[in-house]
């Protein structure tokens, strides 16, 4: 069976995300980290491309999310890690009537493994 594609509602509202700062949601076997980035919601895979640590355990430094595992720092809007020249998968996100929707599959950088 083909993996699901398209836009899906997740169990989080923009208000909940703005209040929490970050939330983890599951969607068709994707573990997704939602971040409130200076007034805009963004979505990344919650599984670090380096060694699989949960990115929600990391810390924000400006617009970068620093993984708690080995401190790879990802720009949250692009998923790009400048030092390693690698991309963390990210998801297109829309807010419709306050509800968050995510597009599957994730958008991947040119070097992101499957
Ligand atoms: S597991 Fe994230 S930097 Fe190593």
Q: Read off the pLDDT of each residue in 45-63 and give the average, rounded to a whole number.
A: 97
Place of tokens 């805009």: 40
CB of 50 within 6 A of ligand 1: the answer is: yes
Domain ranges of the chain: 6-104
Distance 47 CA to ligand 1 centre (A): 9
CATH 1.10.10.10 fits 6-104, yes or no: no
8 Å CB contact between 36 and 22: yes
* pLDDT for the residue 111: 61
Q: Is the pLDDT of residue 114 over 60?
A: no
Q: How confident is the model at residue 4 (pLDDT cuts 50, 70, 90)?
A: confident
Q: Please, which residues have CB within 8 angstroms of residue 19's CB and are 6 or more apart in sequence?
A: none
CB of 70 within 6 A of ligand 1: the answer is: yes
Helical H runs in 10-106?
Answer: 14-20
Cα-Cα-Cα-Cα torsion 24, 66, 51, 42, nearest 10 degrees, comes to: 40
Q: Whose CA is nearest to atom 3 of ligand 1?
A: 70
The model carries a pTM of 0.93
* pLDDT for the residue 33: 98
CB of 84 within 6 A of ligand 1: the answer is: no
* pLDDT for the residue 43: 98
Q: Is the pLDDT of residue 113 over 60?
A: no
Query: For the chain, how are helix, strand and coil distributed in percent, rounded to 5?
Result: 10, 50, 40
């Amino acid at each position: 069976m083909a993996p699901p594609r398209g836009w899906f509602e997740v169990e989080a509202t923009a208000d909940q995300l703005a209040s929490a700062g970050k939330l983890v949601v599951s969607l068709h076997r994707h573990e997704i980290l939602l971040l409130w980035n200076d007034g805009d919601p963004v979505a990344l895979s919650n599984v670090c491309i380096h060694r699989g640590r949960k990115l929600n355990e990391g810390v924000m430094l400006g617009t970068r999310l620093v993984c708690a595992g080995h401190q790879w720092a990802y720009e949250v809007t692009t998923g790009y890690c400048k030092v390693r020249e690698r991309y963390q998968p990210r998801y297109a996100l829309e807010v419709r009537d306050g509800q968050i929707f995510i597009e599957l599959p994730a958008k991947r950088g040119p070097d992101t493994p499957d």
